[in-house]
Amino acid sequence: IAPHITVHNLVTKPDAKPIKQKSRPMKPKVALMVKEEVMKLLQVGFIKPIDYSQWVSNIIHVLKKNGKIHICIDFRDINKACPKDDFPLPSIDVIVDATNGFELLSLMDGFSG
């Protein structure tokens, strides 16, 4: 897929100052699992390395019941620096209410499908 379709550039408020969050400690076993997941995302081209980022956010990890790990990014600081969207996506309540009466609801996450 062409990058102009899949890459999103964030617009920040003019007065926003970049924030680099302090690193949070992780258990060695969890750190290894996170590293493996990040390497997998790098190998398939879902993420790419950058040099000298002005914004640094921590990884939030969640251990799944199947023993695998789900990683997210703590974007609270960057979210505060971005202007509000004039056309926001609907909230989860609205989405769930819209499924009323249907027999099937499909949700996907990148690798787990």
Question: Residue 110 falls within a domain, yes or no?
Answer: no
Using the structure block, give the residue that is written with the tokens 């505060």.
Answer: 80
Pairing relationship of beta strands 69-73 and 59-63 according to DSSP bridges: antiparallel
Question: Residue 93 falls within a domain, yes or no?
Answer: no
The domain that holds 60 is classified in CATH as 3.10.10.10
Helices marked H in the chain: 3-6, 28-43, 76-81, 92-98
pLDDT at 109: 61
In this structure, are residues 36 and 29 in contact, taking their beta carbons and an 8 Å threshold? no
Question: Residue 107 falls within a domain, yes or no?
Answer: no
Nearest to 76 by CA among 90, 93, 56, 61: 56
Domain count, the chain: 1
Spatial distance between the Cα atoms of 74 and 77, rounded to a whole number of angstroms: 8
Question: Residue 48 falls within a domain, yes or no?
Answer: yes
pLDDT at 21: 92
Question: Residue 97 falls within a domain, yes or no?
Answer: no
State the DSSP H helix or E strand holding residue 73, giving kind and residue range, or none if neither. strand 69-73
Mean pLDDT of each 10-residue bin along the chain, 113 residues long: 76 92 92 94 89 88 91 92 83 80 71 54
Question: Residue 22 falls within a domain, yes or no?
Answer: yes
Q: What residues make up the domain containing 53?
A: 3-84
pTM summary value: 0.63
